[in-house]
Amino acid sequence: MNVLLVSPATPTTFWSLKHAMRFVARRAAFPPLGLLTVAAMLPRSWNLRLVDMDVTRLADADVEWADYVLVGAMIVHKASVEAEVIPQCRRLGRPIVGGGPLFTTGHEEFAGDVHAVLGECEDSIGAVIRDMEAGQLADTYQAPSAFPDVTRTPVPRWDLINLRHYATASIQFSRGCPFDCEFCDIVVMNGRKPRTKTPGQVLAELDALVDAGWKGTVFFVDDNFIGNKRCVKEFLRALVAWRARRRPQIDFLTEASVNLADDAELLDLMTRAGFNSVFLGIETPVAASLEECQKVQNVHGDLAEKVRTIQRAGLEVKGGFIIGFDHDPREIFELQFDFIQRTGIASAMVGLLSALPKTRLYHRLLGEGRLDASTTGNNTEAVLNFIPKLDREFLIDGYRRLMAALYEPSAYYRRVLVFLGEYRPRGPRLKLTWQDVRALMKSLWIMGVWHRGRRAFWRYLATVLVRHPRKLPPAIKLAIHGFHYRMVAKQL
């Protein structure tokens, strides 16, 4: 059996970091972990190839070689799936099996073209394999237990990709999140009970990555890394010990809920284990809007102070922000700008509220007759797929202006400096690599000579060298990320 695994092409989005890739000479920011995990569940006797269309194009020869094409996609990949993958496979007569968020929440749109595997596939892949071998695939597959036991999830097949094409590696410790924010599709796809892997299992995955030669950042792609605090602490203790034993040249980034700030022990364990950055769903400084979307964990206490606590503990805070809640006041743009600037959240992923299929928000808006388009799946695009309470044009226009203001060079560097002032790096330090030096040289050339914002860049660099010389590596990394975000903001 020859099986081709395909990760479709991604448009330039906030998280794609496409404009940052030229600094680090990598082709894509993150590898397709879902597909690599599925690959590890397929029989060892099968021949597998993986094409990540963010790294290389999908060649006819690869499709012709395959008996089946397995596609893993998010909604944002829809255009690539519809315009490239499906027509190419149809022309060459190869059946497609699809999985991931695009098909889990929207398989009906692909009926006849794609055999869809809904949700996490650990418990349904056996039936898919059997039917592939028999040459008789069903239209859809869904396991009776929607949320499988992840302690049985195998180590991803890293051998199917060239890790050197990627800026960051990925790994997963848990799935699911105990909270229930109205707009979130995680709880629909992965449930509200966090399911964790065993410490030994994750350490074996990390061993595999390090053995494959990985150096640099590893992203724990958990929906909420601290969803089960007891299990995560147990894992972190094992990770600290593993780190002391193996002394790997890697650091970690993850996603968590804001209540991380309330647990000093957890913060300490994370930094000792090598975490130096965390993405938080902050959403909005407007309490009424937080209550509207039932983001209960953000309502209590001072949000800005929580961000500072995490920064002082040694973690850079990246944040997700949303505009377009029913309770947003007309001055929402100023409120968001002020919050982001004063907390020094350099990577602020600000998006317009989007009703993703099958979420509670989607059903509410449908019931209120307010849904008027399907989502593009890109939460940082200047579009709304529902009728907002504030005027649509006011929101879209204000959103564009907010993004431009946030990523205008001097405002951006000002808030990185706020962050560097709070940040107390504590974790293990990685050795400087040739890649870091090259990124520094390229940033001096591209941001310091070629692009608009040169003066602000040199002023920023001088301030970093005088006030925070030991924080130069994160300062350069954030300048490079800022360059990407600025390009994204410009395209809006």
Which stretches of the chain bind ligand B12, using CB under 6 A? Answer: 10, 13-16, 29-30, 32-35, 37-38, 70-72, 74-76, 97-102, 105, 117, 120-122, 170, 172, 185-186, 190, 221, 223, 356, 377-380
* 70: number of Cβ within 10 Å: 25
Q: How far is the CB of 184 from ligand SF4 (least distance, A)?
A: 3
Count of alpha carbons within 13 angstroms of residue 454, beta-carbon side: 8
Stretch that binds ligand SF4, among 119-127, 167-175, 184-192, 343-351 (CB under 6 A): 184-192
Q: Which DSSP string corresponds to 230-265?
A: HHHHHHHHHHHHHHHHH--SEEEEEEE-GGGGG-HH
Residues comprising the chain, all counted: 492
Q: How far is the CB of 37 from ligand B12 (least distance, A)?
A: 4
Taking the least distance from each CB to ligand SF4, the nearer of 3 and 345 is 345
Helix (H) / strand (E) element for 432: namely: none
Q: How far is the CB of 38 from ligand SF4 (least distance, A)?
A: 22
- Out of 28, 181, 290, 489, which residue is the one contacting ligand SF4 (CB under 6 A)? 181
Taking the least distance from each CB to ligand B12, the nearer of 121 and 420 is 121
Q: How far is the CB of 315 from ligand B12 (least distance, A)?
A: 18
Structure tokens belonging to residue 279: 């993405």
- Out of 177, 282, 416, 447, which residue is the one contacting ligand SF4 (CB under 6 A)? 177
Partner from ligand B12, ligand SF4, none binding residue 171, C-beta < 5-8 Å depending on class: none
Partner from ligand SF4, ligand B12, none binding residue 117, C-beta < 5-8 Å depending on class: ligand B12
Partner from ligand SF4, ligand B12, none binding residue 440, C-beta < 5-8 Å depending on class: none
Of 171, 193, 32, 194, the residue nearest 101 (C-alpha): 32
Task: Tell me if 340 sits within 8 A of 418, measured CB to CB.
Answer: no
Partner from ligand B12, ligand SF4, none binding residue 179, C-beta < 5-8 Å depending on class: ligand SF4
List the interface residues with ligand SF4, window 211-240 (CB under 6 A): 223-224
- The count of chain residues that interact with ligand SF4, using the rule CB under 6 A, is 11
Widest pairwise Cα distance in the chain: 68
Stretch that binds ligand SF4, among 28-36, 102-110, 178-186, 430-438 (CB under 6 A): 178-186
For position 281 contacting ligand SF4 by CB under 6 A, the verdict is: yes
Helix (H) / strand (E) element for 318: namely: strand 316-323
Q: Based on the number of CB atoms within 10 Å of its own CB, is 73 exposed (0-12), middle (13-18) or buried (19 or more)?
A: buried
Q: How far is the CB of 175 from ligand B12 (least distance, A)?
A: 6
191-194 contacts, C-beta under 8 A, 24 or more apart: 191/146, 191/147, 193/147, 194/224, 194/227, 194/228, 194/231
For position 186 contacting ligand SF4 by CB under 6 A, the verdict is: yes
Q: Rounded distance, CA 89 to CA 70, Å?
A: 11
CA 55 to mean position of chain CA atoms: 18
Taking the least distance from each CB to ligand SF4, the nearer of 124 and 190 is 190
Q: Quote the crossing angle between the two packed helices 303-312 and 409-422, to the nearest 10°.
A: 70
Of 126, 129, 55, 17, the residue nearest 481 (C-alpha): 17
For position 180 contacting ligand SF4 by CB under 6 A, the verdict is: yes
Taking the least distance from each CB to ligand B12, the nearer of 148 and 199 is 148
Q: Where are the alpha helices (DSSP H) in 368-450?
A: 392-407, 409-422, 434-445
Q: How far is the CB of 389 from ligand SF4 (least distance, A)?
A: 21
Taking the least distance from each CB to ligand SF4, the nearer of 54 and 120 is 120
Taking the least distance from each CB to ligand SF4, the nearer of 62 and 222 is 222
For position 252 contacting ligand SF4 by CB under 6 A, the verdict is: no
Residue 295: which region, alpha, beta or left (left: phi > 0; alpha: psi -120 to 50)? Answer: beta
Q: How far is the CB of 174 from ligand SF4 (least distance, A)?
A: 11
Chain positions contacting ligand SF4, by CB under 6 A: 177, 179-181, 184, 186-187, 223-224, 257, 281
